[in-house]
Amino acid sequence: MTTQILSAALPLISASFAEGETHLLIGTGSGESLSLTTRRLQTLQRSGAHAIVVNPSSDAHYKVIAARFPEVEVYNRPFQLSDLTTLGRVLTAKVVDRVYVNLPFVQCSDAKDIYAQCAKLRIPINTYQQPEHSTFNMLPTYTDPKGSGLQITVTTNGCGYVLANRIKREIINSLPANISQIVANMATLRNQVIADNNERLLKEKFYSADVGLGLGFGLDDDVWESHKLNTLIREFDATKRNQQTKRTRWLSQVMEYYPLAKLADITMQELENNAALQESNPLSSADTTENAASNTSHTDGRPLKIQKVEGEANSTVTVLEGDAAKQSHAKKGSISLVGSGPGSVAMLTIGALHEIKTADIILADKLVPQTVLNLIPAETETFIARKFPGNAERAQQELLAKGMEALKQGRKVVRLKQGDPYIFGRGGEEFLYFQEHGYEPTVLPGLSSSLTSTVVAKIPATHRDVADQVLVCTGTGRKGVLPKIPEFVPSRTTVFLMALHRAKLLTQELLAKEWDENVPVAIVERASCPDQRVTRTLLKYLPEVVEEIGSRPPGLLVVGKAVTKLVPESLVQFTDQRKHYIEEGYSDFEFDVASLIK
């Protein structure tokens, strides 16, 4: 069975701003139904456009429209082509801005003439059920009734209007209940960041518009430079310009990584970096302890009574009262470092699932995907690492502080890590830290993205006569330093983690080390998640391709001949005119998670 595409050229979908425009509706349909005209008039009112109706299909239609929409101009007469150039705004020399035709079928010849005239005048036109006489379509759109600004529209491009509506409903029903608050809160923070950045920059002696604000904060959601989402910001570089860039990128990454439902509660104070992350020694910050205290509860949800007692300099002692003190003395806290795999719930180990379901508090990496976080019981306290550009070390210390605070309270702490704890996940550092403080962690391995990504991307990391060894490297060393570049081995598959944000520099270094510029490369993003994307190219094209396709973090690079071994050769013949090949999506296994833990 083959899928038939109705048209080789797909429509260009855009959001039109119609406030103040004049939109002309010609005809009101056949028979007694006014539903289409009514819906369109309601839509135009919401958009701020001024609507004019000419040639109602009957006197009854005229009376209904005049009564229900008193602000709409209604001309109860036949349409004239001159209406296109006499009923518009003065600003447009009386030419109308947009035309909607809903004439009875017997007047289809009139629709053809109207379309021809609109085409000459470059007036966008939509003719009901006549795509050949239309230059745009109206799409089924959900508009948030709470006014957050969220709109969701779906089109099947003529393959089924009813189906498009159903898909739209399915999408809407899958959104968090607080989606309105999420969108409104992100808009508020975005506006505050931009206003504050502009205010600071305008005070500079030499103002430059090149401040790195193009991070998804404009109107063009499809062209923001997502490949710069994780661009390196050095940890302690506190110049005014870098601080502004850090705040902007932080907000971008919050939108990209944080659990969707929690975005409604992010505050400007958190965005600015609280005192625990600003101090050179975060463990000494009272703010860290206060936050840990305010988020602390029994496993049954009852709050613990916590009193802070100031001790030696740069230290805070926490004294538990009542039930909390008894609980602390009766039970020593425990901690486990748990790998959550690359993203798919099907790739969690049973041990990891058990730890998630039995934890008192979970300290999760920001890269742990929503599908895994959804497994956490609602009553379990959860903290997402605030590792954003320029504060990774401080955020790591904040996690350690929260972990120690909970352990002293006798709680079970689960440090939930993306991939495997020991594969570039600081697992060893965290093991030693807690061990030195009297708590030896239990470590549960996870499927590392460094190897699972090759499987889900149809790349055999080793393959007879193609690849006889695998090397896993990091693309970002400590404090952002590029690690030592390995030598090129033709029979090796090399995986670079945390490298996409510096693809240009990495490529330059690899070529300088005499790597083959024509060796195949795969960019694997959001491995094993429904929105997985695999992009195949050649090493010499890598920087251009990353800039063109943007970024969908987390992602990694796979380099070697195995990259193209399981893909038809015709799809991976790259030239200067065709530099990459993309495969989208991943279908997960379907099973009942709950049945595994009964």
**In the β-sheet with 533-538, what is the strand arrangement from edge to edge?**
469-474, 492-497, 555-559, 520-525, 533-538, 581-584
Torsion over CA: 418, 234, 384, 170 (sign)? negative
Q: How far apart are CA 472 and CA 233, in angstroms?
A: 24
Residue 583 pLDDT: 94
List own/partner pairs for 325-330 with CB under 8 A and 24 or more apart: 327/298, 327/409, 327/410, 328/408, 328/409, 328/410, 329/410, 330/410
Residue at which a domain ends, from 123, 138, 153 = 138
Same domain, yes or no: 460 and 482: yes
Q: Mean pLDDT across the stretch 562-591?
A: 89
- The domain containing residue 369 runs over which residues? 277-447
Percent of the chain residues topping a pLDDT of 90: 47
Q: In terms of DSSP bridges, do strands 125-127 and 412-417 run parallel, antiparallel, or are they unpaired?
A: unpaired
Higher-confidence residue: 321 or 416? 416
- Residue range 390-411: mean pLDDT, rounded: 87
- Check 228, 360, 498, 540 and give the catalytic one: 498
CATH number at residue 480: 3.30.950.10
Query: Is-contact 67 59, C-beta < 8 A?
Result: no
Q: Are 443 and 468 part of one and the same domain?
A: no
Out of 71, 104, 138, a domain closes at 138
486 in the same domain as 375: no
DSSP state of 133: G
Are 422 and 385 in a shared domain? yes
List phi, psi (to 5°) of 116: -60, -40
- Counting DSSP H helices and E strands in the chain, the numbers are 17, 20
What CATH number is attached to the domain comprising 303?
3.40.1010.10
pLDDT band at 302 (very low <50, low <70, confident <90, very high): very low
Greatest CA separation for the chain:
91
List Cβ neighbours of 295 (8 Å cut-off, separation of 6 or more). Answer: 381, 383
Position with higher pLDDT, 435 vs 595: 435
469 with 439, same domain?
A: no
559's CB contacts (< 8 A; 6+ apart) are: 493, 494, 495, 496, 510, 515, 519, 520, 521, 522, 539
281 pLDDT more than 90: no
pLDDT tens per residue, range 533-548:
999 999 999 999 998 8
Question: How many folded domains does the chain comprise?
Answer: 4
Q: Determine whether 498 is an active site residue.
A: yes
Q: Catalytic residue among 360, 365, 402, 565, which?
A: 365
Residues 170, 151: Cα–Cα separation, whole Å: 14
Let me know if residue 457 belongs to a domain.
yes
Q: Indicate if the pLDDT at residue 362 is higher than 60.
A: yes
Same domain assignment for residues 425 and 293: yes
239 three-state secondary structure: coil
The per-residue pLDDT for range 122-151, each reduced to its tens digit, is 999 999 888 889 999 888 888 888 889 899
d(CA 295, CA 315): 20
Which of 399, 423, 447 is a domain's end point? Answer: 447
Residue type, 439: Y
Residue 299 has pLDDT above 50, yes or no: no
Quick one: DSSP state of residue 341?
A: B
Q: Are residues 124 and 205 in the same domain?
A: no
Model pLDDT, residue 259: 78
Would you give the DSSP letter of residue 278?
H
Instruction: State the Cα–Cα distance between residues 422 and 420, nearest whole angstrom.
Output: 6
Residue 77 pLDDT greater than 70, yes or no: yes
Q: Is the pLDDT of residue 576 over 60?
A: yes
pLDDT at 123: 97
Is residue 370 assigned to a domain? yes
Q: Is residue 390 part of a domain?
A: yes
Q: pLDDT tier at 114 (50, 70, 90 boundaries)?
A: very high
Structure tokens at 103: 């004439």
Mean pLDDT across 39-46: 92
159 belongs to a structural domain: no
Average pLDDT of the residues in 43-67: 93
List, for residues 49-60, the tens digit of each pLDDT value: 999 999 998 899
In the predicted model, what is the mean pLDDT of residues 288-292?
36
Q: Which pLDDT score is estimated for 295?
A: 40
pLDDT of residue 130: 87
Contact 336, 328 (CB under 8 A): no
**Residue in 387, 402, 412, 417 annotated catalytic:** 387
Tell me if 215 sits within 8 A of 229, measured CB to CB.
yes
pLDDT per residue as tens digits for the range 468-509: 999 999 887 666 678 889 999 999 999 999 888 889 999 999
**C-alpha distance from residue 147 to each of 154, 168, 180, 365 (Å):** 20, 18, 8, 33
Q: Is residue 456 a part of any domain in this protein?
A: yes
pLDDT above 70 covers what percent of the chain? 76
Q: What is the pLDDT of residue 279?
A: 42
Residues 355 and 460 in one domain: no
The answer to whether residue 39 sits within a structural domain is: yes
Q: Is residue 11 part of a domain?
A: no
Best CA proximity match to 190, nearest among 252, 274, 270, 277:
252
User: Looking at residues 347-361, what average pLDDT do you find?
Assistant: 94
Assign 251 a pLDDT band (cuts: 50, 70, 90): confident
Q: Are residues 282 and 417 in the same domain?
A: yes
CA distances for 423 relative to 343, 491, 544, angstroms? 15, 23, 29
What is the predicted pLDDT for the residue at 312?
34
**CA-CA-CA-CA torsion sign (225, 229, 234, 238):** positive
- Cβ proximity of 394 and 479 under 8 Å: no
Lowest mean per-residue pLDDT among 271-275, 463-467, 528-532, 581-585: 271-275
Q: Is residue 460 part of a domain?
A: yes
Residue 219 C-beta-side C-alpha neighbours within 13 Å:
4
pLDDT at 394: 80
Choose the weakest-confidence range: 77-81, 142-146, 300-304, 417-421.
300-304
416 closest CA partner among 374, 373, 387: 373
Q: How far apart are CA 219 and CA 6, in angstroms?
A: 30
Tell me how far CA of residue 397 lies from CA of 51, 271, 295, 387, in angstroms: 59, 17, 17, 10
What is the average pLDDT value for the chain, to the nearest integer?
Answer: 80
Whether 561 is catalytic is no
Asked if residue 303 has a cis previous peptide bond (ω within 30° of 0), the answer is no
Residues 428, 333, single domain; the answer is: yes
Q: Report the CATH number that the domain containing residue 36 is assigned in CATH.
A: 3.40.50.720
Q: How many residues does the chain have?
A: 598
When comparing pLDDT for 202 and 443, which is higher?
443
| Residue 286 reports pLDDT greater than 60 | no
- The pLDDT value given to residue 320: 44
Residues 116 and 186 in one domain: no
Q: Give SS3 for 187.
A: helix
196 and 89 in a common domain: no
